[in-house]
Amino acid sequence: MKDTAKHQGLRNQLVTVLQQKGITDKNVLEAIKKIPRHLFLNSSFEDYAYQDKAFPIGAGQTISQPYTVAFQSQLLEVEKDHKILEIGTGSGYQTAVLCTMGAKVYSVERQNELFKTTSLLLPKLGIRPKHLSFGDGYKGLPNYAPFDSIIVTAGAPIIPKPLMAQLKVGGRLVIPLGEEHQIMTMLIRKNETQFEKHEFGEFRFVPLLENKN
């Protein structure tokens, strides 16, 4: 598991690309500059790890393109010690970005294969989320609620009600909404019953899987 000066140079180039695409949050950019994305990918993709592209990671899932990770992270307006619920741990790259930004991350993954891989990988890289869970993201993590913000890393046809219930007043929920193409959507909880909705254009994600049992 090597991280070389060449990899760092490629990360610096990637950060420049993200800035050109409109990412301005310095904490997001610093995290992406630090994290060895190539170690979250199958070694056959290593040479392409710092291109702004998504790649398959197994179990029918993908690692999102860096712009998408940066865009969602920027929408969250992460502050140190923010308690964040992540739905869809996947490769763990988004988890790593949020942890590196100083958040306390609670993450749920539906695919056991990915859950096992990521649970081993993150500690090796010195990244320690508060809690990694294997389970149904639609249900969130009620035992650890409420959260300062919630990020969903897979496309969902609707906003799961349990996630809305687990968000603090003033908190942000960022979710790609839609079937084949998704609209990046952010809800801000104004009070116990009211949410303010913002939309940020089209993205493509793999679907969020719900446990039908």
Residues assigned a catalytic role: 64
Query: Which tokens go with 22?
Result: 């409109």
Q: Is 127 left (phi over 0), alpha (psi -120 to 50) or beta?
A: beta
C-alpha span between 128 and 211 (Å, rounded): 27
Rounded to whole angstroms, how far apart are CA atoms 3 and 70?
21
C-alpha pair distances (Å), 112 with each of 81, 105, 129, 142, 212:
28, 19, 18, 20, 16
41 vs 57: CA distance, rounded Å: 7
In order of 26, 87, 96, 126, 129, the CA distances from 117 in angstroms are 29, 16, 14, 15, 14
Of 67, 69, 66, 118, the C-alpha closest to 90 is 118
User: What are the φ/ψ torsions at residue 67 (nearest 5 degrees)?
Assistant: -60, -40
E strands within the chain? 55-58, 61-63, 83-87, 104-109, 131-134, 147-152, 167-177, 182-189, 195-203
Give me 78's structure tokens: 């992460």
